[in-house]
């Protein structure tokens, strides 16, 4: 087995107990959310976690009722874990590369919510569509 493959394998299978440490931080963030409504984010890519740690954490957190796929500059996956209010977000670039990965403690991650500015712009667009003539409606059906 080549040197790079061996060291990569080592990196992937090392248990650095970081999964435990991250897990223990989550109830604290959940309490803060309940007390003050403040959301908490743990940036998984900024910690020296090995692949084993990440798999371990994902297994312990599990999957809940919600799974959302967001297509913007690549795919982002938002999953509610088996613990209400604890979300796992994975952002991928258009080339499939993982750009960011977070555990977010919130009622719903900010990322899923529609931004007021976007709603405003969309409302304008929809109103324009509706207030346009009937021909315009038929002619532009299918354009978003």
Partner 1 sequence: MAETRTLGEFLVERGVSRRAFLKYSSYLATLMALPPSAAEAMAEGLAKARRQAVIWLSFQECTGCTESLTRAFSPTLEDLIFNFISLDYHHTLMAVSGEAAENARLQSMAENKGKYIVMADGSVPMKDGGVYSTIAGRTNLETLHETAKDAFAVISVGTCAAFGGLPHADPNPTGAVAIQDIVKDKPVINIPGCPPIPDVMTGTVAHILSFGKLPELDDLKRPKAFFGETIHDRCYRRPFYQRGLFAKSFDDEGARKGWCLYEVGCKGPVTYNACATLKWNGGVSFPIQSGHGCLGCSEPDFWDKGGFYRPLPTPLASVREHVTEAAAAGAVLGGAAAWLARSQQNAYKSETKKPEEA
The site for partner 1 (CB under 8 A) is made up of: 2-4, 6-7, 11, 41-43, 45-46, 70, 72-74, 76, 89, 91, 93-95, 97, 99-100, 102, 110-111, 114-115, 117-118, 121, 144
Smallest gap from Cβ 91 to partner 1, in A, equals: 5
Of 24 and 115, which has the nearer Cβ to partner 1? 115
Closest listed residue to residue 102, CA positions, set 94, 90, 86: 90
Q: DSSP H helical segments within the chain, as ranges? A: 3-13, 18-36, 51-61, 116-131, 134-139
CB 20 within 8 A of CB 57: no
Of 63 and 110, which has the nearer Cβ to partner 1? 110
Smallest gap from Cβ 114 to partner 1, in A, equals: 7
Of 62 and 93, which has the nearer Cβ to partner 1? 93
Q: Strand 86-92 to strand 67-71: parallel, antiparallel, or no bridges (unpaired)?
A: unpaired
Smallest gap from Cβ 111 to partner 1, in A, equals: 5
Of 115 and 135, which has the nearer Cβ to partner 1? 115
For 100, phi then psi, to 5°, come to -160, 155
């Amino acid at each position: 087995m080549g040197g790079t493959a061996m060291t990569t394998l080592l990196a992937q299978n090392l248990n650095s107990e970081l999964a435990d440490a991250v897990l223990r931080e989550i109830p604290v963030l959940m309490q803060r959310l309940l007390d003050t409504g403040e959301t908490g984010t743990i940036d998984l890519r900024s910690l020296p976690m090995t692949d084993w740690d990440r798999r371990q954490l994902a297994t312990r957190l599990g999957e809940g009722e919600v799974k959302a796929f967001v297509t913007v500059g690549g795919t982002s996956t938002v999953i509610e874990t088996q613990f209400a209010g604890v979300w796992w977000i994975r952002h991928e670039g258009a080339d499939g590369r993982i750009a960011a990965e977070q555990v977010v403690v919130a009622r719903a991650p900010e990322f899923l919510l529609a931004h007021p500015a976007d709603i405003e712009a969309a409302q304008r667009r929809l109103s324009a569509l509706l207030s346009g003539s009937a021909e315009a409606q038929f002619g532009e059906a299918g354009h978003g």
